[in-house]
Amino acid sequence: MSLTRRDLTRRDFGRLAAASAAFATVPRAIAQAAAPKKIRYAIIGLGRISLQHFMPGTKMSAMSEVTAFVSGHPDKAKQHAAEYNIPDSSIYTYENFDRIRDNPNVDAVYIALPNSMHAEYTIRSAQAGKHVLCEKPMATSVADSEAMIAACKKANRKLMIAYRCQLEPTTLRAREFIRNGTIGAVQAIESANGFNIGPDWRTNGKLAGGGPLMDVGIYSLNACRFMLGEEPTVIAANASTIDHDGRFNDVEENVSWTMKFPSGVLASCNTTYGANMEGYYRIHGSKGTLNVEPAFGYEGIHLTGRVRGAQGPPTVIDLLEQEKDPAQFAREADHFSGCILNNTPVGPSGEEGLRDMRHIQTIYKAAGIKF
């Protein structure tokens, strides 16, 4: 790819420097009125994805800033408050969270809690008048997902599910190569994503709602659907647990599933909490193959491919994501902020999250796992 986020940022810095020189001569009141509007986020759950990725992402975003915290650990919240200029009055606990409705400095929330808490905090946030950017998986049941959508609709607030890959340029190029016929008629997709898990709420069935399928297998499911723009109509699945070492008393260790799409494309996917898989997907078309590997990381998404013409050597595709973490999160935040500011439909909507939840329910059922 020719343009990198760094290039853009450098250029933007150049423009900003020129603009700020001009700004100095503008009377203060006018200057304030001309300042670009930012969406102000309350972060709900100060864990890894919030602290290490999403919040740093907002620092390089154009339309998003962090203005409040919701945490069960006041010390942790205070520790990070200074970095984001957050006053004590904008630090909430889970108990007094609903008071956030009276905070005019919060437009939206980013929910990064264990999966089973997503529904409750989405609904409470919408009722408090805030837009919601919720981490994947959307919830731990289809009913909760539907309730989240209904609550946001009722409150006239926007709901986005944080499928950052759907906004990432290398991923979008792969989809373009499928849509414009570069690799011909797609026949099959293979995908896998997993890791070898240690102690984590992710193996607690109540908090996680399921095992690796809910957490990381959802990336493969979503990539297949996103690449094809179709919904699977036939699903078969198996699950297994190999390591009986106490980690998998509540949730499965492995899930393997196949999907048949209306076009006839067959997809086969694997997910695990027992092995470190580099997440990938491979798309086989009548004229060529695309391989996205790594496919789901916070940086370094790599698209390679070979396309065969009637004659001569194959054309080689090799596109590497140029941006570094947390650029994907800056884009994700700004996409949602832009949708709020311009009142436009969000890309990965609540309905998109719900479709994944319905398929996850079908996969678990096919694998004989209660969901």
Site string for ligand NAD, 179-218 (x = CB under 6 A): ----------------------x-----x-------x---
User: Which residue is catalytic, options 136, 163, 280, 281?
Assistant: 136
219 is catalytic: yes
Min dist. Cβ of residue 218 to ligand NAD (A) = 8
CB of 52 to ligand NAD, least distance (A): 8
Q: Which residue in the shown chain puts its C-beta closest to ligand NAD?
A: 47
Q: According to the binding rule CB under 6 A, does residue 48 interact with ligand NAD?
A: yes
Which span sits near ligand NAD by CB under 6 A: 4-12, 56-64, 110-118, 174-182? 110-118
CB of 118 vs ligand NAD, minimal distance in Å = 6
Q: How far is CA 270 from CA 18, 253, 309, in A?
A: 51, 11, 32
The residue (of 230 and 325) whose beta carbon lies closer to ligand NAD is 325
Q: Which amino acid is at 270?
A: N
Q: What is the dihedral of CA 39, 45, 49, 55, to 10 degrees?
A: 30
Cα 326 from Cα 298, distance rounded (Å): 7
From candidates 161, 162, 213, 227, binder to ligand NAD by CB under 6 A: 162
Nearer to ligand NAD, 112 or 197 (CB): 112
Nearer to ligand NAD, 212 or 285 (CB): 212
**In the window 214-243, what residues touch ligand NAD (CB under 6 A)?**
215
Which residue's CB is nearer to ligand NAD, number 47 or number 184? 47
Cα dihedral 301/306/307/309 (nearest 10): 160
Q: Between residues 191 and 317, which has the closer beta carbon with respect to ligand NAD?
A: 191
Neighbours of 351 (CB within 10 A): 14
Rounded to whole angstroms, how far apart are CA atoms 65 and 334? 10
**Binding positions for ligand NAD, 112-151, rule CB under 6 A:** 112-115, 135-136
And the tokens for 54?
């999403």
287 is catalytic: no
- 80, 124, 157, 164: which one contacts ligand NAD (CB under 6 A)? 164
Query: What would the x/- binding string for ligand NAD be over residues 8 to 47, using CB under 6 A?
Result: -------------------------------------xxx
With CA atoms as reference, report the closest residue to 133 among 144, 147, 122.
122
Round to whole Å and give the CA distance between 364 and 255: 9
Angle at 329 between CA 323 and CA 333, to 5 degrees: 130
Active-site option among 41, 110, 121, 219: 219
Please say which residue, 113 or 186, places its beta carbon nearer to ligand NAD.
Answer: 113
Least distance from C-beta 202 to ligand NAD, angstroms? 8
Which C-beta is closer to ligand NAD: that of 177 or that of 272?
A: 272
For the annotated catalytic residues, the residue numbers are: 136, 219
Residues binding ligand NAD (CB under 6 A): 45-50, 72, 112-115, 135-136, 162, 164, 201, 207, 215
